[in-house]
Structure 1
Amino acid sequence: MSSGSGSGSDVRVARALSILGHPALLMPGAVVWASIARNAPPSVLFTAASASVFVALCVGVYSAVQVRAGRWAHVDASVPRERGQLNLFLALLLFGTAGALWWSGQPRPVFLGLVLGGGLVVAGHLLRRWLKVSLHAGFAVFAAGLSWPGPVAFGLLALAVGVCWSRLVLRRHTLAEVVVGFVAGGVAGFGFHLCAA
Protein backbone atom coordinates (compact mmCIF):
# COMPACT_ATOMS: atom_id res chain seq x y z
CA MET A 1 0.00 0.00 0.00
CA SER A 2 2.41 2.64 1.18
CA SER A 3 6.01 3.13 0.23
CA GLY A 4 6.87 3.76 3.88
CA SER A 5 8.59 1.14 5.98
CA GLY A 6 10.12 1.08 9.40
CA SER A 7 12.19 -0.84 11.90
CA GLY A 8 10.69 -3.18 14.46
CA SER A 9 10.57 -0.42 17.08
CA ASP A 10 8.93 1.94 14.57
CA VAL A 11 6.25 -0.65 13.90
CA ARG A 12 5.58 -1.16 17.61
CA VAL A 13 5.23 2.59 18.17
CA ALA A 14 3.07 2.88 15.06
CA ARG A 15 0.74 0.13 16.28
CA ALA A 16 0.40 1.82 19.66
CA LEU A 17 -0.40 5.18 18.03
CA SER A 18 -2.85 3.57 15.64
CA ILE A 19 -4.72 1.95 18.55
CA LEU A 20 -4.60 5.09 20.71
CA GLY A 21 -5.83 7.16 17.77
CA HIS A 22 -8.57 4.74 16.73
CA PRO A 23 -11.81 6.72 16.23
CA ALA A 24 -13.75 4.42 18.58
CA LEU A 25 -11.37 5.31 21.42
CA LEU A 26 -10.49 8.87 20.51
CA MET A 27 -13.85 10.39 19.65
CA PRO A 28 -15.70 9.67 22.93
CA GLY A 29 -12.88 11.36 24.85
CA ALA A 30 -12.82 14.32 22.48
CA VAL A 31 -16.59 14.71 22.74
CA VAL A 32 -16.43 14.70 26.54
CA TRP A 33 -13.60 17.22 26.60
CA ALA A 34 -15.32 19.51 24.07
CA SER A 35 -18.51 19.40 26.15
CA ILE A 36 -16.62 20.28 29.33
CA ALA A 37 -14.75 23.09 27.56
CA ARG A 38 -18.08 24.53 26.39
CA ASN A 39 -19.42 24.40 29.98
CA ALA A 40 -22.18 22.02 28.93
CA PRO A 41 -24.70 21.15 31.66
CA PRO A 42 -24.20 17.67 33.17
CA SER A 43 -27.25 16.30 31.34
CA VAL A 44 -25.91 17.46 27.97
CA LEU A 45 -22.43 16.14 28.80
CA PHE A 46 -23.93 12.76 29.68
CA THR A 47 -25.99 12.64 26.48
CA ALA A 48 -23.05 13.62 24.25
CA ALA A 49 -20.74 11.08 25.90
CA SER A 50 -23.38 8.34 25.82
CA ALA A 51 -24.11 8.90 22.14
CA SER A 52 -20.42 8.78 21.27
CA VAL A 53 -19.81 5.60 23.27
CA PHE A 54 -22.98 4.06 21.79
CA VAL A 55 -21.71 4.63 18.24
CA ALA A 56 -18.27 3.24 19.10
CA LEU A 57 -19.77 0.11 20.69
CA CYS A 58 -22.14 -0.47 17.77
CA VAL A 59 -19.25 -0.30 15.29
CA GLY A 60 -17.16 -2.66 17.42
CA VAL A 61 -19.97 -5.21 17.73
CA TYR A 62 -20.86 -4.96 14.02
CA SER A 63 -17.23 -5.51 12.97
CA ALA A 64 -16.78 -8.43 15.38
CA VAL A 65 -19.96 -10.11 14.14
CA GLN A 66 -18.85 -9.74 10.52
CA VAL A 67 -15.49 -11.37 11.29
CA ARG A 68 -17.03 -14.13 13.43
CA ALA A 69 -19.52 -14.94 10.65
CA GLY A 70 -16.66 -15.25 8.16
CA ARG A 71 -17.85 -12.34 6.04
CA TRP A 72 -14.78 -10.23 6.85
CA ALA A 73 -11.14 -11.22 7.16
CA HIS A 74 -10.34 -8.67 9.89
CA VAL A 75 -12.10 -6.04 12.02
CA ASP A 76 -10.03 -3.37 10.19
CA ALA A 77 -12.24 -3.94 7.12
CA SER A 78 -9.29 -3.32 4.79
CA VAL A 79 -10.73 -5.21 1.82
CA PRO A 80 -12.67 -2.76 -0.41
CA ARG A 81 -15.95 -4.69 -0.14
CA GLU A 82 -15.66 -4.87 3.65
CA ARG A 83 -14.72 -1.23 3.92
CA GLY A 84 -17.72 -0.23 1.80
CA GLN A 85 -20.05 -2.17 4.10
CA LEU A 86 -18.49 -0.60 7.19
CA ASN A 87 -18.71 2.90 5.75
CA LEU A 88 -22.39 2.51 4.92
CA PHE A 89 -23.19 1.05 8.34
CA LEU A 90 -21.21 3.78 10.12
CA ALA A 91 -22.74 6.61 8.09
CA LEU A 92 -26.29 5.37 8.76
CA LEU A 93 -25.47 4.92 12.45
CA LEU A 94 -24.00 8.42 12.80
CA PHE A 95 -26.82 10.13 10.89
CA GLY A 96 -29.48 8.05 12.66
CA THR A 97 -28.07 8.84 16.11
CA ALA A 98 -27.79 12.52 15.18
CA GLY A 99 -31.41 12.49 14.01
CA ALA A 100 -32.56 10.93 17.28
CA LEU A 101 -30.67 13.56 19.28
CA TRP A 102 -32.08 16.38 17.14
CA TRP A 103 -35.61 15.00 17.52
CA SER A 104 -35.18 14.81 21.31
CA GLY A 105 -34.30 18.51 21.42
CA GLN A 106 -30.60 18.29 22.22
CA PRO A 107 -28.40 21.37 21.64
CA ARG A 108 -26.99 21.76 18.15
CA PRO A 109 -23.34 20.90 19.01
CA VAL A 110 -24.43 17.51 20.41
CA PHE A 111 -25.86 16.22 17.13
CA LEU A 112 -23.77 18.37 14.79
CA GLY A 113 -20.59 16.44 15.61
CA LEU A 114 -22.31 13.20 14.62
CA VAL A 115 -23.59 14.72 11.37
CA LEU A 116 -20.10 15.94 10.44
CA GLY A 117 -18.62 12.57 11.40
CA GLY A 118 -21.13 10.94 9.09
CA GLY A 119 -20.15 13.39 6.37
CA LEU A 120 -16.51 12.42 6.84
CA VAL A 121 -17.39 8.75 6.36
CA VAL A 122 -19.54 9.50 3.29
CA ALA A 123 -16.72 11.54 1.73
CA GLY A 124 -14.36 8.61 2.20
CA HIS A 125 -16.94 6.24 0.72
CA LEU A 126 -17.50 8.42 -2.34
CA LEU A 127 -13.74 8.58 -3.01
CA ARG A 128 -13.24 4.81 -2.60
CA ARG A 129 -12.73 4.18 -6.34
CA TRP A 130 -9.65 6.35 -6.37
CA LEU A 131 -8.20 5.99 -2.90
CA LYS A 132 -8.84 4.53 0.54
CA VAL A 133 -9.19 7.69 2.61
CA SER A 134 -7.65 7.31 6.06
CA LEU A 135 -10.55 7.70 8.48
CA HIS A 136 -8.04 7.20 11.31
CA ALA A 137 -6.36 10.43 10.20
CA GLY A 138 -9.65 12.18 9.49
CA PHE A 139 -11.23 11.47 12.87
CA ALA A 140 -7.98 12.23 14.73
CA VAL A 141 -7.91 15.72 13.20
CA PHE A 142 -11.66 16.11 13.73
CA ALA A 143 -11.15 15.26 17.43
CA ALA A 144 -8.57 18.04 17.65
CA GLY A 145 -11.01 20.38 15.91
CA LEU A 146 -13.76 19.60 18.42
CA SER A 147 -11.41 20.55 21.25
CA TRP A 148 -10.16 23.75 19.59
CA PRO A 149 -8.81 26.08 20.92
CA GLY A 150 -6.63 25.16 23.87
CA PRO A 151 -3.75 22.92 24.93
CA VAL A 152 -5.83 19.74 24.61
CA ALA A 153 -6.46 20.56 20.94
CA PHE A 154 -2.73 20.95 20.33
CA GLY A 155 -2.09 17.63 22.07
CA LEU A 156 -4.73 15.94 19.93
CA LEU A 157 -3.30 17.55 16.80
CA ALA A 158 0.13 16.14 17.71
CA LEU A 159 -1.52 12.74 18.19
CA ALA A 160 -3.20 13.14 14.77
CA VAL A 161 0.20 13.68 13.15
CA GLY A 162 1.43 10.56 14.94
CA VAL A 163 -1.60 8.61 13.72
CA CYS A 164 -0.90 9.73 10.14
CA TRP A 165 2.70 8.55 10.49
CA SER A 166 1.52 5.24 11.94
CA ARG A 167 -0.80 4.53 9.03
CA LEU A 168 2.14 4.95 6.64
CA VAL A 169 4.55 2.83 8.69
CA LEU A 170 1.95 0.06 9.02
CA ARG A 171 1.29 0.29 5.26
CA ARG A 172 -2.44 0.75 5.79
CA HIS A 173 -2.54 3.82 3.54
CA THR A 174 -0.57 5.77 0.98
CA LEU A 175 0.60 9.31 1.64
CA ALA A 176 -2.21 10.69 -0.54
CA GLU A 177 -4.84 8.73 1.42
CA VAL A 178 -3.49 10.04 4.72
CA VAL A 179 -3.30 13.64 3.46
CA VAL A 180 -6.88 13.53 2.15
CA GLY A 181 -8.06 12.12 5.49
CA PHE A 182 -6.17 14.81 7.39
CA VAL A 183 -7.66 17.60 5.27
CA ALA A 184 -11.18 16.12 5.47
CA GLY A 185 -10.91 15.97 9.27
CA GLY A 186 -9.78 19.59 9.32
CA VAL A 187 -12.76 20.61 7.20
CA ALA A 188 -15.12 18.75 9.55
CA GLY A 189 -13.55 20.47 12.57
CA PHE A 190 -13.83 23.89 10.94
CA GLY A 191 -17.43 23.12 9.94
CA PHE A 192 -18.25 22.21 13.53
CA HIS A 193 -17.12 25.60 14.85
CA LEU A 194 -18.76 27.44 11.97
CA CYS A 195 -22.16 25.78 12.45
CA ALA A 196 -22.17 25.31 16.24
CA ALA A 197 -21.67 29.00 17.00
Structure 2
Amino acid sequence: MWEEAQSRLAVLVSVLLHPAAVAVALFLLLTLCYHDNFLATFGTATFFVLLAPVGITALMRALGGVSDLDITDRRERLLPYALITACYLGGAFSLRWAGAPREVVAAMACYFTVTAVCTVITAFWKISMHMAGIAGPVVVASLLLPKTALLSILLIPLVAWARLVLRRHTPSQIAGGAAVSALVTFLTLLAFGLAP
Protein backbone atom coordinates (compact mmCIF):
# COMPACT_ATOMS: atom_id res chain seq x y z
CA MET A 1 0.00 0.00 0.00
CA TRP A 2 2.81 2.41 0.90
CA GLU A 3 4.66 1.58 -2.33
CA GLU A 4 1.52 2.22 -4.38
CA ALA A 5 0.95 5.59 -2.69
CA GLN A 6 4.61 6.48 -3.18
CA SER A 7 4.40 5.54 -6.85
CA ARG A 8 1.26 7.64 -7.38
CA LEU A 9 2.87 10.62 -5.71
CA ALA A 10 5.99 10.17 -7.86
CA VAL A 11 3.85 10.14 -11.01
CA LEU A 12 2.09 13.31 -9.86
CA VAL A 13 5.42 15.04 -9.18
CA SER A 14 6.76 13.94 -12.57
CA VAL A 15 3.69 15.30 -14.35
CA LEU A 16 3.45 18.58 -12.44
CA LEU A 17 7.19 19.19 -12.74
CA HIS A 18 7.50 17.94 -16.31
CA PRO A 19 10.17 19.98 -18.13
CA ALA A 20 7.56 21.65 -20.39
CA ALA A 21 5.40 22.65 -17.40
CA VAL A 22 8.42 24.00 -15.54
CA ALA A 23 9.43 25.98 -18.64
CA VAL A 24 6.02 27.63 -18.89
CA ALA A 25 6.10 28.54 -15.19
CA LEU A 26 9.63 29.94 -15.52
CA PHE A 27 8.74 32.08 -18.53
CA LEU A 28 5.58 33.29 -16.81
CA LEU A 29 7.62 34.49 -13.83
CA LEU A 30 10.35 36.00 -16.01
CA THR A 31 7.83 37.78 -18.21
CA LEU A 32 5.93 39.13 -15.21
CA CYS A 33 9.18 40.38 -13.69
CA TYR A 34 10.96 41.70 -16.78
CA HIS A 35 8.14 42.11 -19.30
CA ASP A 36 8.09 44.69 -21.99
CA ASN A 37 5.07 43.32 -23.85
CA PHE A 38 3.64 40.59 -21.63
CA LEU A 39 1.26 38.84 -24.04
CA ALA A 40 3.63 38.76 -27.00
CA THR A 41 6.63 37.71 -24.92
CA PHE A 42 4.88 35.04 -22.86
CA GLY A 43 2.90 33.79 -25.87
CA THR A 44 6.04 33.41 -27.96
CA ALA A 45 7.90 31.66 -25.15
CA THR A 46 4.98 29.31 -24.48
CA PHE A 47 4.77 28.34 -28.14
CA PHE A 48 8.45 27.41 -28.29
CA VAL A 49 8.77 25.66 -24.90
CA LEU A 50 5.39 23.93 -24.71
CA LEU A 51 3.26 23.81 -27.82
CA ALA A 52 5.95 23.02 -30.39
CA PRO A 53 7.87 20.42 -28.31
CA VAL A 54 4.70 18.65 -27.14
CA GLY A 55 3.37 18.76 -30.70
CA ILE A 56 6.58 17.20 -32.03
CA THR A 57 6.50 14.44 -29.43
CA ALA A 58 2.79 13.73 -29.96
CA LEU A 59 3.22 13.62 -33.73
CA MET A 60 6.18 11.27 -33.45
CA ARG A 61 4.16 9.07 -31.09
CA ALA A 62 1.26 8.98 -33.57
CA LEU A 63 3.65 8.09 -36.40
CA GLY A 64 5.33 5.37 -34.34
CA GLY A 65 8.64 7.18 -34.03
CA VAL A 66 8.55 7.00 -30.24
CA SER A 67 7.00 4.37 -27.98
CA ASP A 68 5.67 6.75 -25.33
CA LEU A 69 5.35 10.45 -24.66
CA ASP A 70 8.16 10.38 -22.07
CA ILE A 71 10.45 8.87 -24.73
CA THR A 72 11.83 6.40 -22.20
CA ASP A 73 13.82 4.47 -24.82
CA ARG A 74 17.14 6.30 -25.25
CA ARG A 75 17.48 5.13 -28.86
CA GLU A 76 14.25 6.94 -29.77
CA ARG A 77 15.33 10.26 -28.26
CA LEU A 78 17.78 11.67 -30.80
CA LEU A 79 15.39 12.90 -33.50
CA PRO A 80 12.74 14.42 -31.22
CA TYR A 81 15.40 16.01 -29.01
CA ALA A 82 17.15 17.46 -32.07
CA LEU A 83 13.84 18.92 -33.28
CA ILE A 84 13.04 20.29 -29.83
CA THR A 85 16.53 21.81 -29.66
CA ALA A 86 15.75 23.57 -32.95
CA CYS A 87 12.48 24.85 -31.40
CA TYR A 88 14.40 26.44 -28.54
CA LEU A 89 16.87 28.05 -30.93
CA GLY A 90 13.94 29.39 -32.96
CA GLY A 91 12.40 30.62 -29.73
CA ALA A 92 15.53 32.51 -28.72
CA PHE A 93 15.78 34.20 -32.12
CA SER A 94 12.04 34.97 -32.18
CA LEU A 95 12.14 36.51 -28.73
CA ARG A 96 15.22 38.55 -29.63
CA TRP A 97 13.62 39.71 -32.87
CA ALA A 98 10.43 40.67 -31.00
CA GLY A 99 12.43 42.80 -28.57
CA ALA A 100 11.87 40.63 -25.50
CA PRO A 101 13.91 41.47 -22.41
CA ARG A 102 17.45 40.08 -22.33
CA GLU A 103 16.60 37.88 -19.34
CA VAL A 104 13.82 36.14 -21.26
CA VAL A 105 15.96 35.67 -24.38
CA ALA A 106 18.79 34.32 -22.21
CA ALA A 107 16.48 31.82 -20.52
CA MET A 108 15.35 30.52 -23.92
CA ALA A 109 18.99 30.33 -24.99
CA CYS A 110 19.61 28.21 -21.89
CA TYR A 111 16.93 25.78 -23.03
CA PHE A 112 18.67 25.59 -26.40
CA THR A 113 22.19 25.02 -25.05
CA VAL A 114 21.17 22.53 -22.36
CA THR A 115 19.02 20.48 -24.74
CA ALA A 116 21.73 20.54 -27.41
CA VAL A 117 24.33 19.20 -24.97
CA CYS A 118 21.94 16.62 -23.52
CA THR A 119 20.99 15.47 -27.03
CA VAL A 120 24.64 14.78 -27.83
CA ILE A 121 25.06 12.91 -24.53
CA THR A 122 21.89 10.93 -25.26
CA ALA A 123 23.56 9.41 -28.31
CA PHE A 124 25.79 7.51 -25.87
CA TRP A 125 24.05 7.51 -22.50
CA LYS A 126 20.56 8.03 -21.10
CA ILE A 127 20.71 11.30 -19.20
CA SER A 128 17.71 12.43 -17.15
CA MET A 129 15.88 15.16 -19.05
CA HIS A 130 13.48 15.60 -16.13
CA MET A 131 16.46 16.55 -13.97
CA ALA A 132 17.90 18.73 -16.71
CA GLY A 133 14.46 20.32 -16.99
CA ILE A 134 14.41 21.28 -13.32
CA ALA A 135 18.08 22.03 -12.54
CA GLY A 136 18.53 24.55 -15.36
CA PRO A 137 15.40 26.54 -14.48
CA VAL A 138 16.47 26.52 -10.82
CA VAL A 139 19.77 28.15 -11.83
CA VAL A 140 17.88 30.71 -13.95
CA ALA A 141 15.45 31.41 -11.11
CA SER A 142 18.23 31.67 -8.54
CA LEU A 143 20.11 34.26 -10.60
CA LEU A 144 17.28 36.19 -12.25
CA LEU A 145 14.44 35.72 -9.75
CA PRO A 146 16.33 35.50 -6.44
CA LYS A 147 13.19 35.62 -4.29
CA THR A 148 12.24 32.22 -5.73
CA ALA A 149 15.66 30.63 -5.15
CA LEU A 150 14.99 28.71 -1.94
CA LEU A 151 11.67 27.29 -3.05
CA SER A 152 12.95 26.37 -6.49
CA ILE A 153 16.07 24.63 -5.13
CA LEU A 154 13.82 22.33 -3.09
CA LEU A 155 12.28 21.05 -6.34
CA ILE A 156 15.53 19.35 -7.38
CA PRO A 157 15.51 16.58 -4.74
CA LEU A 158 11.75 16.19 -5.18
CA VAL A 159 12.09 15.46 -8.91
CA ALA A 160 15.12 13.21 -8.27
CA TRP A 161 13.10 11.23 -5.74
CA ALA A 162 10.18 10.84 -8.16
CA ARG A 163 12.37 9.63 -11.02
CA LEU A 164 14.08 7.10 -8.73
CA VAL A 165 10.79 5.81 -7.31
CA LEU A 166 9.45 5.35 -10.84
CA ARG A 167 12.70 3.61 -11.85
CA ARG A 168 13.03 5.85 -14.91
CA HIS A 169 16.68 6.60 -14.20
CA THR A 170 19.67 5.48 -12.20
CA PRO A 171 21.19 7.79 -9.59
CA SER A 172 24.06 8.59 -11.99
CA GLN A 173 21.64 9.53 -14.80
CA ILE A 174 19.78 11.80 -12.40
CA ALA A 175 22.97 13.42 -11.10
CA GLY A 176 24.27 13.77 -14.66
CA GLY A 177 21.11 15.51 -15.86
CA ALA A 178 21.18 17.96 -12.96
CA ALA A 179 24.92 18.67 -13.18
CA VAL A 180 25.07 19.14 -16.95
CA SER A 181 22.00 21.35 -16.97
CA ALA A 182 23.14 23.51 -14.06
CA LEU A 183 26.62 24.02 -15.53
CA VAL A 184 25.49 24.71 -19.10
CA THR A 185 22.75 27.06 -17.87
CA PHE A 186 25.21 28.99 -15.72
CA LEU A 187 27.68 29.31 -18.61
CA THR A 188 24.92 30.46 -20.96
CA LEU A 189 23.75 33.12 -18.51
CA LEU A 190 27.38 34.15 -18.05
CA ALA A 191 27.67 34.63 -21.81
CA PHE A 192 24.65 36.95 -21.63
CA GLY A 193 26.24 38.90 -18.77
CA LEU A 194 23.60 37.68 -16.33
CA ALA A 195 25.73 35.53 -14.01
CA PRO A 196 28.41 36.65 -11.56
> Would the TM-score normalized by the shorter structure come out above 0.5?
yes
| 1:139 to partner: Cα distance | 1.7
Is 1:35–2:31 an aligned residue pair? Answer: yes
| Residue of structure 2 in register with 1:136 after alignment | 130
- Structure 1 segments unaligned to the other structure (5+ residues): 1-5
Is 1:116–2:110 an aligned residue pair? Answer: yes
Distance (Å, rounded) in 1 between the aligned partners of 2:24 and 2:42: 6
1:155-192 superposed Cα distances (whole Å, 9 cap, x missing partner): 22212221111111111111111111111232244335
Residue pairs, 1:24-173, within 5 angstroms: 24-37=20-33, 40-43=34-37, 45-55=38-48, 56-148=50-142, 149-173=145-169
Amino acid at match of 2:140: L
| 1:102 to partner: Cα distance | 2.2
TM-score normalised by L of structure 1: 0.85
Distance 1:193 1:129, change over 3 A: closer
Structure 2 SS opposite 1:95: helix
| 1:196 to partner: Cα distance | 4.4
Bigger mean CA deviation after superposition, 111-120 or 142-151: 142-151
Structure 2 SS opposite 1:147: helix
- RMSD between aligned residues: 2.0
4+ long deviations beyond 4 Å = none
| 1:52 to partner: Cα distance | 2.6
Distance (Å, rounded) in 2 between the aligned partners of 1:139 and 1:46: 24
TM-score normalised by L of structure 2: 0.86
Is 1:175–2:175 an aligned residue pair? Answer: no
| 1:129 to partner: Cα distance | 4.1
| 1:115 to partner: Cα distance | 1.5
Amino acid at match of 1:51: T
Preserved contact between residue 140 and residue 157 of structure 1 (Cα < 8 Å): no
Preserved contact between residue 35 and residue 101 of structure 2 (Cα < 8 Å): no
1:122-165 superposed Cα distances (whole Å, 9 cap, x missing partner): 11111124421111111212222222254422222212221111
Is 1:191–2:187 an aligned residue pair? Answer: yes
Amino acid at match of 2:114: L
Give the counterpart of 1:10 among 6, 9, 21. Answer: 6
- Structure 2 segments unaligned to the other structure (5+ residues): none
| 1:59 to partner: Cα distance | 1.2
Distance (Å, rounded) in 2 between the aligned partners of 1:158 and 1:17: 13
Distance (Å, rounded) in 2 between the aligned partners of 1:127 and 1:134: 10
